[in-house]
Each structure stands twice: as C-alpha cells, then as structure tokens.
C-alpha cells in the first residue's frame, strides 16, 4: 500500500514557512506558495528538490495524479506495471 502526502500537508505538519522552505530550495516564498496551492506545477528539478528536502515524504506522485487529490484519505493503491 502506498501512502501519499501532499506538499501542502507536509508543510503544515512540519511547521515550515513558505519563505524558509524557499530559502532551502533556492526559491522565493511566493514560488513555494504557488506549489502548495497548485497554482504552479513544479518541473522535474523542483520535484526532485521537494523530494530531497522532505526526506522522501513528498513524492512526484502528488503532481502526476497518483493517489488522492481531493483531500479524502491519504492511502492510495500502487499502480501495477
């Protein structure tokens, strides 16, 4: 079973602020806010940065539609390949 954590959820759980996370990532706080709200989709490099800075708790799956996107539940079935 795959457990999904959205970036916004991780930010809230960790108590991290947009400007503080942005400094770690080399982005503005506004860029972080846009990623959190879905106004902007991170590119491949940004997704890798988020994955690294969250110790793998937030994966690229958050933005590619694997797992729940409506806030209901946090468990998702892993895709078969």
Q: Report which DSSP code applies to 72.
A: S
Domain ranges for the chain = 17-63
Single pTM value for the model: 0.75
* Model pLDDT for residues 4-45, shown as the tens digit of each residue: 678 999 999 999 999 999 999 999 999 999 999 989 999 999
Please tell me the predicted confidence (pLDDT) of residue 34: 95
Helix 29-37 vs helix 7-14: angle between axes, to the nearest 10 degrees?
Answer: 120
- CA Rg, the chain, in Å? 12
Q: Which residue pairs from 55-63 have beta carbons closer than 8 angstroms and sit at least 24 positions apart in sequence? A: 57/5, 57/10, 58/5, 58/6, 58/7, 58/10, 59/4, 61/2, 61/4, 62/4, 62/5, 62/6, 62/7
């Amino acid at each position: 079973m795959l457990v999904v954590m959205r970036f916004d959820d991780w930010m809230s759980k960790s108590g991290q602020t947009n400007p503080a996370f942005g400094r770690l990532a080399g982005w503005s706080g506004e860029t972080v806010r846009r990623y959190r709200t879905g106004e902007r989709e991170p590119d491949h490099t940004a997704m890798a940065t988020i994955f690294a800075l969250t110790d793998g708790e937030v994966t690229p799956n958050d933005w590619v539609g694997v797992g729940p996107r409506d806030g209901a539940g946090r468990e998702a079935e892993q895709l078969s390949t």
